[in-house]
Structure 1
């Protein structure tokens, strides 16, 4: 089956934010004839981000969650469909999307501002500055990590008006498992770049600090030109909050058009 014939879409959420970041995307894709799901990570199924923040820092179930377990939770969703779905992920969700694609479980995949798989070392300064606290080095993994508003401003919503930054923080920012973050540096984040796969689109944004353009280009270049479709698109003026910026529909339209061609 071609991607253009698929009607099921699984949205994969990244770290630090609620799965409700996909709400508008789901509605928009559904208006185009797709069936969509955007399942939360295990232990993140609260109705609001505030409810999850109120559990900080002593939510031990979330604190002990691993990257393998998050990946497995999405694989279970993907396999629940009678046919392979389209998988679209953002940030760490973009990494998980590539893992799902690499296991031949998606008819096509889109990784939006992706965290790099193992084998693409993220040495870019802004990536290290934006993400190193989430690793919680020399701190207990029995406690979760919550990004401060100051760090949110740098990592997600840079260049946006202050009131919009605050509103986005209140609506979407949630505690995170340091164990999951550390998993991105282990074999849990490994894929076989040389393996043939279904079509993959990687996107980046010129303002992104967590996954800057240079890092996304290096992920794209890591895939060999072996006959599998791997495309890359850079969007001007997008930061890591790309799913919620006023320009999100332009990005969604580009992705929809790309899907229609594959």
Structure 2
């Protein structure tokens, strides 16, 4: 029986960022996919050149897109997501569509109260204008260096910016930022469920975009309400952790965790 792993990228990063993970996981016997968000093109350059299809794409549209990919697979896959991809991974697990989920620096689910200053600063390029809710927004190199590249060298940050970044829809950030002020929200996840697959939340101690306190807040929601969830923190890592020079350590640890939970090929 084939065990599939679906990789889900976050805001401002193209799915090509998962190529090293895909190669490693396939070498270990998994079948892997890294689908695009609705509106993304096949390459970084093509997505930068045509952002029209990304307008007004929100969390529900992204989740539904991945749900369709998952439903087309012969068995429920493992989902691995970064940033907003980590939020999407939790929603897929909540829907019963995934055998397990690994969420790296996941965007906050509804109910997480921590709002550190660095999170606000990282989100400011989008949230500074209400009109951005229905626009796409691209980060400048300097904004990327703060939000993603603060724990790596300026040279590596510049390289990652040039190779991986794409404009992204602003709507998901507006949905996340207002979630706790609304009765319902696309970022809501049922943290009471104990009948779902295993969940691993990964925090990065130097992360400006999703600080570790935000990830711990999500973990506490699950634990307090009786739903199993594991938490690991890499104290010296930033938001670029899944695709910078140190990606292999986290990927190998993820494989080990999957093995501990019998999510093996």
TM-score by length of 2: 0.90
Return the alpha-carbon distance in structure 2 between the equivalents of residues 73 and 156 of structure 1: 26
Alpha-carbon distance in structure 2 between the residues aligned to 1:212 and 1:141: 23
Q: Is the 8 A contact 1:85 1:108 kept in 2?
A: yes
Quick check: 215-224 or 26-35, which moved more? 215-224
Higher alpha-carbon deviation: 156-165 or 33-42: 156-165
What runs of 5+ residues in structure 1 fail to find an aligned partner?
none
CA deviation vs aligned residue, 1:24-54 (integer Å, no higher than 9, x gap): 000000000000000011111232x233223
Give the secondary-structure state (helix, strand or coil) at the position aligned to 1:139.
Answer: helix
Bigger drift between 174-183 and 208-217 goes to 174-183
Q: Which residue pairs with 1:193 in the alignment?
A: 191
Distance 1:130 1:259 in 2: 31
- Distance in 2, matches of 1:229 and 1:193, equals 9
**Within the alignment, does 1:104 sit opposite 2:96 as a pair?**
yes
**CA distance 1:175–1:225, change in 2 (3 Å):** same
Superposition deviation, residue 140 in structure 1: 5.0
Report the alpha carbon displacement of residue 60 of structure 1 after superposing the two structures with TM: 3.2
Task: Note closer, same or farther for the CA distance 1:141–1:199 as it changes in structure 2 (3 Å cut).
Answer: closer
Separation of aligned partners in 1, 2:218 and 2:209: 14
Contact 2:150 2:238 in 1 (8 A): yes
Where does residue 212 of structure 1 map in the other structure? Answer: 211
Instruction: Please state if 1:130 is matched with 2:122.
Output: yes
Q: CA-atom RMSD, angstroms?
A: 1.7
CA contact (8 A) 1:50 1:171 kept: no
Deviation of residue 203 (structure 1)? 0.5
- In 2, the alpha carbon distance for the partners of 1:112 and 1:37 equals 17
